[in-house]
Amino acid sequence: MPQLPTAPVLLADAPGSFPHSVLAERHPAIIRQVRDAFPYGPEQHRALDALLSSCTEGVIEPLPAGAHDLERWRSWGLDEYTGRSWFEVPWLWSESYFYRCLLEAVGHFAPGSWQGIDPFRPAKLAELDAPETDDELAALDTLEDAPAADRATALLHGSLWGNRADLGFRLSAPGAGTTAVSGLVADDSDALWALLSGRPPGTLVLVADNAGRELVPDLLLLAHLLEHGLARRAVLHVKPHPYYVSDATTADVVDAVRRLTAARGAAARYGRFLWSAMGDGRLTVRAHPFSCAPLPYAEMPGDLREQFADGTLTVFKGDLNYRRLVGDRRWPATTPFADVTAYFPGPVAALRTLKSEVITGLDVTTEAALDSEEGGRWRTGGTHALIQVASRGADGQRHERGFHAMV
């Protein structure tokens, strides 16, 4: 393992900070949302009330003695943090443990009538079935006659921007120019395509983020890469159980593929392709327990490290995966992305819309311009994004490719 740089771990102990607002405001709202999503019984209501009290005014409590993953969570730091305030332990850890406790409260893991029920499923399906999704999928038809390279660029940016995918699908439309991606603070897409253009084509690993309208463009990108020979095989990593409200599980992948096959035009063709690719093994879905760990990927177990090492390129999607990839720390924004991912066992890329404070790989000019124009809002508002790549050069060392800002 190379010697990695370090910076202070993000906590949520400062009132008014973004992490503090997540724990103090967002988590109670999520509890209320889940409570209203299903006709839970008195037992679940009592447990949800207890969790609300604990995460706002109390301390971290251990999992039940019979919890199936108790030992795993103990190895992830539960013994160290039990009895401490949710606001005084690493923010990544407290966020993750909140969702584990939420699943405990609704009986997701326990034998009984609510076992295996995704408490976030109604919200996921509502988004997937929304009229806006039809509009975004219809935009695929406008790309059918575009050159393959332009279509690939459009689908890449559709995946990058998630539920703003309609923006991405129209990138290659006449007159689109570069204004559609003016929110990029770092763009290493040339390096990404260079890695995917090698011959023979290899395995693309994509670590998914959200379900619904954000998962659909991820799947469309994978379908395009497979269909056009930029990847021989694709491996899609999802969560083994519900997590962070909208994170994708295998069930969400199936829902998204069904949504595509039931659509019209080009979307249906993509759906049929994906269904076939899953059936013959060109597209594989995996769900490793560490995907829901409260730890950075630098601490991944050996079997997961081997899976990533087999990929020609591993792409991490979304904000949470970025925090775990680079470490949830107060990095100076100019800290090289290649340095903080030097532990990774192969070429790695990040496609991320900025929704939290962690950022690396910016140049001084870009950071100064963003801070001058927007203060710190650009880090958390979801209005900016990045494409970053770190790969191994001929000398075996990790290198960052040339970033350029488009702000």
Q: At 368, is the secondary structure helix, strand, or coil?
A: helix
- Is pLDDT above 80 for 53? yes
Q: Is the peptide bond before 62 cis (omega within 30 degrees of 0)?
A: no
Q: Are 160 and 186 in contact (CB under 8 A)?
A: no
pLDDT at 323 over 70: yes
Calpha distance 67→100 (Å, rounded) = 11
Quote the CA–CA distance of 90 and 137 in Å, as a whole number.
39
Average pLDDT over residues 43-50: 97
Which pLDDT tens digit goes with each residue over 63-89? 999 999 999 999 999 999 999 999 999
Nearest Cα to Cα of residue 240 among 57, 36, 81, 68: 68
Strands 385-392 and 398-400: antiparallel
What's the rounded Cα separation, in Å, for the pair 336 and 5?
A: 10
260 has a pLDDT exceeding 90: yes
Q: Is the pLDDT of residue 232 over 60?
A: yes
Closest by Cα among 118, 193, 113, 106 to 153: 193
Strand boundaries in 247-384, DSSP class E: 283-286, 313-317, 348-353
pTM of the model: 0.92
Cα–Cα distance for residue pair 228/204, rounded to 1 Å: 13
Name the residue among 36, 31, 33 with its Cα closest to residue 49.
31
> Which tokens in the block code for residue 230?
């930029």
Q: Give me the mean pLDDT over the 21-46 stretch.
A: 96
The mean pLDDT of 22-39, rounded to a whole number, is 96
Strand, helix or coil at 185? strand
Tokens (6 digits) for 106: 């609704």
Interatomic CA distance for residues 401 and 390, integer angstroms: 7
pLDDT at 4 over 90: no
Residue 367, classified by CB atoms within 10 Å of its CB into exposed (0-12), middle (13-18) or buried (19+), is: middle
Give residue-wise pLDDT tens across range 129-185.
988 888 889 989 999 888 988 999 999 999 998 755 443 344 333 333 333 336 899
The pLDDT tens digits of the residues spanning 88-142 come to: 999 999 999 999 999 999 999 999 999 999 999 999 999 999 888 888 899 899 9
Cα 141 to Cα 127: distance, rounded to the nearest angstrom: 21
Tell which residue, 249, 162, 255, 256, has the closest CA to residue 214.
Answer: 162
β-strands 313-317, 203-207: how paired?
parallel
Q: What percent of the chain has pLDDT over 70?
A: 90
Residue 182 gets which letter from DSSP? T
Q: What is the pLDDT of residue 375?
A: 86
